[in-house]
């Protein structure tokens, strides 16, 4: 099982690395992220999914700041249905821009660090958008498993303004007791 997860993670990294397109304008990050405040659970409300996330239900990305300044990440979801098999991935985040804390490298397997950018963050740290310079994958996340439709549409508009094809964005089913 561990071997399969490592192979899946390695395949994901190869895919992320291979997704280079024509140069686009730099994707701006938020000016400043208070890392301790950003830590914790984030429900994935919608995304342009990577191949491992397709069909994900109850997806949660959890962050923990370690003493060495890296970020322990746990990404869990149910595969294909609410009662589907639980999947768990544990990449490590590395802050690449310590002046803003909004530009990370996400490492699923050494030595490759995928580009992750915090491009939107609500003032109260209740909603965020994680984007990639390549504009191939994006994650709309919130501290709660559901957000108001007006908030979703506002966040989706921001994703579109970043240069993403919003027709590729998919809602992630969330249902909790």
Q: How confident is the model at residue 29 (pLDDT cuts 50, 70, 90)?
A: very high
Q: How confident is the model at residue 45 (pLDDT cuts 50, 70, 90)?
A: very high
Q: How confident is the model at residue 107 (pLDDT cuts 50, 70, 90)?
A: confident
Average pLDDT over residues 33-49: 98
Q: How confident is the model at residue 19 (pLDDT cuts 50, 70, 90)?
A: very low
Per the CB < 8 A criterion, the answer to whether 169 and 138 are in contact is yes
pTM: 0.85
Distance, in Å, from the CA atom of 57 to the CA atom of 112, rounded to the nearest integer, reads: 27
Share of the chain above pLDDT 70, in %: 84
pLDDT at 110: 66
CA atoms within 13 A of residue 68's CA, in its CB half-sphere: 6
Q: What residue segments make up the domains of the chain, in order of their start?
A: 2-171
Distance, in Å, from the CA atom of 133 to the CA atom of 142, rounded to the nearest integer, reads: 21
CATH of the domain spanning 2-171: 2.40.128.20
pLDDT at 11: 42
Name the one residue in this structure whose structure tokens are 């899946």: 8
């Amino acid at each position: 099982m561990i071997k399969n997860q490592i192979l899946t993670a390695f395949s994901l990294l190869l895919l992320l690395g291979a997704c280079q397109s024509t140069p686009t304008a730099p994707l701006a990050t938020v000016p400043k992220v208070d890392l301790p405040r950003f830590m914790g659970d984030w429900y994935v409300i919608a995304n342009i999914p990577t191949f491992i996330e397709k069909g994900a239900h109850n997806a949660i990305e959890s962050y923990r700041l370690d003493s060495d300044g890296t970020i322990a990440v746990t990404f869990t979801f149910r595969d294909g249905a609410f009662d589907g098999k639980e999947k768990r991935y544990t990449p490590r985040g590395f802050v690449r821009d310590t002046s803003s804390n909004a530009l990370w490298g996400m490492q699923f397997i050494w030595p490759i660090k995928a580009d992750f950018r915090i491009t939107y963050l609500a003032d109260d740290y209740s909603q965020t958008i994680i984007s990639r310079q390549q504009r191939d994958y994006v994650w709309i996340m919130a501290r709660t498993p559901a957000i108001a439709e007006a908030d979703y549409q506002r966040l989706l508009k921001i994703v579109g303004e970043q240069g993403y094809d919003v027709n590729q964005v998919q809602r992630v089913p969330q249902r909790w007791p």
